């Protein structure tokens, strides 16, 4: 019996043991304080110093009891990763004695160097002060570091000295508040008088690759960039479709077991695990949580994946496209809107024609995706995703919405018809001993970037390494905007004499009529769809540099400011950061490529070229015409010269591109000049690899990396 989880060690016995959950609070905090905190979480407001002191003391006692020596304000700066600075509980009392102390002030606020994180020119180098502020809506947790230190982690927001938002959490929280406010207006107009709050639930499916750590360490490209800059395809890839859902190898299964245990202790509902389509690719999916907690959890999932892989002498790759020729990795963001009393407003129920709240939120979401498709495209745009989006493995670059059988509902509404309650089909598999199989409400469309999947929407464009905070902030903000418009228009009709429900339904039909063009249930991979999308007026944005340029469109700035999520200044800072990150990422990749080419590939291919020449010479000395050897030598020499020339061109190009110019022009130059130059270097290197002795190649190949034991 494996030691990890046996009948004596049930999951429920240790689930959430590293989380300062409500159940844990009750052991350390008075009930009145818990109720005060819960009221604050629901309605907002300012946290009192007295309440902060109560929770700080409780957290300290709990953390120390579980072995913690330090605490940290755990936040999500605009790097896309999490940040933490550890402070011990040690303090000095008035008598000079060493004591353990953690106050409400320590809990509520901290300080970080705001100029050392990306700020998009909001902060100059000499303007260092920034603040971290406790997010009491996300629970604190314990994390054990590799050096054996146990740390109390307190989820926090991060802002500059002047209060500008410098993190990903704060806009998400503001967008959730905006959606709650406008959604409640529509819900009341739809006849709901009991629900008090609207929340967003999110479940993020996480794809990743696992490779042997020894192979990883021998590949500078994997270590510095997260992807292979060189590499010819292995003889076998994913073409036989035998990787997906295949039996999980023991080594990977052991990793997954340790990962699950670590996540469960952190209160993360890791649910599903399986092999993905590409060799060495896998997926983990959790049960949904509120958007804020789901975002925090996903950051921890990625961190734990990398950390636990190390224990198994593996390396976890979260890059969107680690290997050419096989599928890359995405992150499917499952998004739904729910009330505090358990109503899923994205569930059509058995009779959607009469479900006015669902129709309202469904129409608002469709309208939001259509009008603000460019913002959704920005939210899924990063260097790695450019290598993945638009291929026959990921959603295309045109945003559309798959609604399945609900397309018929849309058409009925637009035609003034009413549908009968539809019973789900029972599928017949023959006279066998199978249980009854009822067909789902709708099929699934794996090619759609934004798909309705029965009782939620799934945004499928997000990259595997990305924070889900940004796409969910966008979804919440643009849907809040459409709900506000819907409420305003409905209230105007009521003033003119319509009753509430008739007025709301009229507005719903107007929304669907105006935005019907974004609904597409077909094959998004089909080239004909791109032509059809163009006829419909849907925007096609092919790369992230072009996507970033849409962020500051007047309508996009207006929706962020109107919903109170981000200011023009804060959006401009993100625009600058996106462009700067793009250029820096490509520069790191190009520099790594040059290093590998000049110190490994060119010398090793040169040695093999000499070997071919020596072979041809030896055959000639035997008195035999070395025709095949000379043919091989000529081909190899030509491609070797082409590689050397391509390397020289790339090396000459980089200093010019790095020159003084604005961030947009620099990003464009990296995209239009450096990336093609890199592709040329790779082409000749990969061609030579196919015709070079494996040992002479000098580093692990795709065959080694993706098909390890």
The C-alpha angle 83, 89, 94, rounded to 5 degrees, equals 135
Neighbours of 31 (CB within 10 A): 9
Question: Per-residue pLDDT averaged across 126-144, rounded?
Answer: 92
* Residue 126 pLDDT grade (very low, low, confident, very high; cuts 50, 70, 90): confident
Nearest one of 663, 669, 656 to 580, comparing CA atoms: 663
What ranges do the domains of the chain cover?
Answer: 11-167, 175-566, 581-706
Question: Residue 10 — very low, low, confident or very high, per pLDDT cuts 50/70/90?
Answer: confident
Identify which of 81, 42, 622, 6 has the alpha carbon closest to the alpha carbon of residue 300: 81
> What single-letter DSSP state applies at residue 679?
H
Confidence grade of residue 408 (pLDDT, cut at 50, 70, 90): very high
For Cα atoms 543, 464, 650, give the angle at the middle one, nearest 5 degrees: 50
Residue pair 132/110 in contact (Cβ under 8 Å)? The answer is: yes
Please give the pLDDT value at position 426.
85
The whole-number pLDDT of residue 7 equals: 45
pLDDT band at 660 (very low <50, low <70, confident <90, very high): confident
The three-state DSSP-derived secondary structure of 394-407 is CCCCECCEECCCHH
Give residue-wise pLDDT tens across range 293-339. Answer: 999 999 999 999 999 999 999 999 999 999 999 999 999 999 999 99
In 3D space, the residue among 706, 654, 698, 707 whose CA is nearest the CA of residue 678 turns out to be 654
Structure tokens at 38: 């819960």
Instruction: Give the whole-number percent of the chain exceeding pLDDT 90.
Output: 84
Rounded CA gap, 274 and 312, in Å? Answer: 18
Of the given ranges (218-222, 357-361, 614-618), which has the lowest mean pLDDT? 614-618
The 3-class SS string of 411-444 reads HHHHHCCCCCCCCCCEECCCCCCCCCEECCCCCC
State the Cα angle at 59 between 57 and 65, rounded to 5°: 100
| Burial zone of 432 (CB within 10 Å; 0-12 exposed, 13-18 middle, 19+ buried) | exposed
The band of 144, judged by pLDDT with boundaries at 50, 70 and 90, is: confident
Q: What is the pTM of this model?
A: 0.95
Determine the average pLDDT of the residues in 519-537. Answer: 94
Structure tokens belonging to residue 392: 């026959």
Distance CA 29, CA 32 (A): 8
What's the token pair of residue 585?
Answer: 């990422």
Bridge partner list, 519: 401
Q: What is 581-706's CATH topology?
A: 1.20.120
Q: Does 588 score more than 90 pLDDT?
A: yes
Between CA 191 and CA 213 the distance in angstroms is 58
For 210-231, the pLDDT digits (tens) are: 999 999 999 999 999 999 999 9
72 vs 360: CA distance, rounded Å: 43
Least Cα distance to 483 among 562, 391, 401, 591 occurs for: 562
How high is the pLDDT of residue 388? 93
pLDDT band, residue 4 (cuts 50/70/90) = low
d(CA 95, CA 178): 50
End-to-end CA distance of the chain: 23
Distance CA 616, CA 618 (A): 5
Question: Residue 147: is its pLDDT beyond 90?
Answer: no
Q: Which pLDDT belongs to residue 271?
A: 96
Predicted confidence (pLDDT) at residue 442 exceeds the cutoff of 80: no
| C-alpha–C-alpha distance, residues 464 and 446, integer Å | 16
Q: Highest mean pLDDT: which of 40-54, 106-120, 126-140, 375-389?
A: 375-389
CATH number of 11-167: 3.10.20.70
Give the pLDDT confidence score for residue 1 in this predicted structure: 40
Of 404, 417, 209, 217, give the one whose Cα is nearest residue 326. 209
Q: Which of 120-134, 446-460, 555-569, 642-656 has the lowest mean pLDDT?
A: 120-134
Taking CA atoms, 629 is separated from 609, 611, 625, 687, 694, in Å, by 11, 11, 9, 18, 19
pLDDT at 9: 64
- The pLDDT value recorded for residue 2 is 47
Lowest mean pLDDT among 9-23, 224-238, 347-361, 480-494: 9-23
Helix axes 169-189, 469-495, angle to 10 degrees: 30
Sign of the CA dihedral running 436, 244, 472, 166: positive
Q: Of 487, 442, 468, whose CA–CA distance to 347 is shortest?
A: 442
Q: Is the dihedral of CA 507, 513, 515, 518 positive or negative?
A: positive
On the question of pLDDT at 424 being above 80, the answer is: no
Cα(421)–Cα(353) distance, integer angstroms:
8
Reported in sequence order, the residue ranges of 33-95 that DSSP labels E, i.e. its strands, are 68-74, 86-88, 90-92
The reported pLDDT for the residue numbered 5 is 53
H helix intervals, 351-403: 356-371, 373-379, 383-386
Count of H helices and E strands in the chain? 26, 19
- Between CA 276 and CA 432 the distance in angstroms is 30
pLDDT in tens, 628-649: 999 999 999 999 999 999 999 9
CATH topology of domain 175-566: Creatine Kinase; Chain A, domain 2 (3.30.590)
In the structure encoding, which two tokens stand for residue 252, read together?
């990977």
**Residue 412, class by beta-carbon neighbours within 10 Å (0-12 exposed, 13-18 middle, 19+ buried)?**
middle
């Amino acid at each position: 019996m494996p030691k990890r989880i046996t009948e004596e060690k049930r999951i429920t016995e240790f689930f959430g043991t590293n989380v300062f959950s409500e159940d844990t609070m009750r052991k350390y905090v008075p009930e009145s304080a818990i109720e005060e905190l819960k009221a604050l979480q629901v309605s907002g407001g300012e946290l009192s110093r007295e309440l902060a002191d109560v929770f700080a003391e409780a957290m300290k006692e709990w953390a120390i009891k579980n072995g913690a020596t330090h605490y940290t304000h755990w936040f999500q700066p605009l790097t896309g990763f999490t940040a933490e600075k550890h402070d011990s509980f040690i303090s000095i009392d008035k008598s000079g004695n060493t004591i353990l102390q953690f106050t409400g002030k320590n809990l509520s606020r901290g300080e970080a160097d705001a100029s050392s994180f990306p700020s998009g020119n909001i902060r100059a180098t000499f303007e260092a002060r920034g603040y971290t502020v406790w997010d009491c809506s996300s629970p604190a947790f314990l994390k054990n570091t590799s050096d054996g230190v146990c740390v109390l982690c307190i989820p926090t927001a991060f802002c500059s000295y002047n209060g500008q938002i410098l993190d990903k959490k704060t806009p998400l929280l503001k967008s959730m508040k905006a959606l709650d406010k406008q959604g409640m207006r529509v819900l009341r107009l739809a006849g709901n008088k009991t629900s008090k709050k609207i929340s967003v639930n999110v479940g993020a499916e996480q794809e990743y690759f696992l490779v042997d750590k020894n192979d990883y360490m021998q590949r500078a490209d994997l270590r510095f960039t997260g992807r292979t800059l060189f590499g010819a395809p292995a003889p076998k890839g994913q073409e036989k479709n035998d990787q997906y859902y295949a039996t999980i190898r023991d080594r990977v299964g052991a990793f997954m077991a340790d990962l699950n245990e670590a996540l469960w202790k952190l209160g993360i509902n890791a649910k599903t695990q399986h092999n993905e389509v590409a060799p060495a690719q896998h997926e983990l999916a959790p049960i949904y949580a509120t958007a804020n907690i789901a975002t925090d959890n996903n950051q921890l999932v990625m961190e734990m994946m990398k950390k636990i892989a190390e224990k198994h002498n593996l390396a976890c790759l979260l890059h969107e496209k680690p290997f050419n020729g096989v599928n890359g990795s995405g992150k499917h963001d499952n998004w739904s809107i729910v009330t505090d009393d358990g109503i899923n407003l994205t569930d059509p129920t058995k009779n959607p024609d009469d479900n006015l709240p669902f129709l309202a939120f469904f129409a608002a979401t469709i309208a939001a995706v259509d009008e603000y498709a460019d913002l959704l495209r920005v939210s899924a745009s990063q260097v790695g995703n450019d290598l993945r989006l638009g291929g026959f493995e990921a959603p295309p670059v045109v945003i559309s919405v798959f609604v399945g059988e609900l397309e018929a509902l849309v058409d009925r509404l637009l035609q003034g018809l009413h549908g009968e309650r539809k019973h789900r089909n029972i599928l017949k598999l023959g006279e066998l001993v199978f249980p009854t199989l009822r067909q789902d409400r709708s099929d699934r469309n794996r090619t759609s970037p934004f798909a309705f999947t029965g009782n939620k929407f799934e945004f499928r464009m997000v990259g595997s390494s990305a924070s889900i905070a940004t796409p969910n902030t966008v979804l919440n903000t643009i849907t809040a905007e459409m709900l506000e418009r819907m409420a305003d228009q409905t209230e105007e009709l009521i003033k003119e004499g319509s009753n509430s429900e008739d007025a709301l339904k009229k507005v719903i039909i107007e929304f669907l009529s105006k935005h019907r063009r974004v609904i597409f249930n077909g094959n998004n991979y089909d080239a004909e769809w791109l032509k059809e999308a163009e006829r419909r007026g849907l925007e096609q944005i092919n790369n992230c540099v072009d996507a970033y340029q849409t962020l500051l469109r007047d309508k996009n700035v207006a929706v962020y400011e109107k919903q109170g999520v981000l200011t023009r200044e804060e959006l401009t800072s993100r625009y600058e950061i996106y462009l700067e990150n793009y250029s820096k990422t490509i520069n790191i990749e190009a520099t790594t490529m040059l290093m590998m080419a000049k110190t490994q590939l060119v010398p090793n291919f040169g040695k093999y070229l000499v070997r071919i020449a020596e072979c041809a010479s030896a055959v000639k000395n035997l008195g035999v015409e070395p025709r095949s050897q000379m043919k091989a030598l000529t081909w190899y020499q030509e491609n070797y010269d082409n590689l050397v020339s391509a390397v020289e061109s790339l090396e000459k190009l980089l200093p010019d591109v790095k020159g003084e110019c604005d961030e947009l022009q620099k990003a464009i130059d990296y995209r239009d000049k450096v990336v093609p130059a890199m592709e040329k270097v790779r082409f000749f290197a990969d061609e030579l690899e196919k015709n070079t002795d494996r040992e002479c190649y000098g580093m692990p190949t795709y065959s080694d990396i993706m098909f390890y034991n």
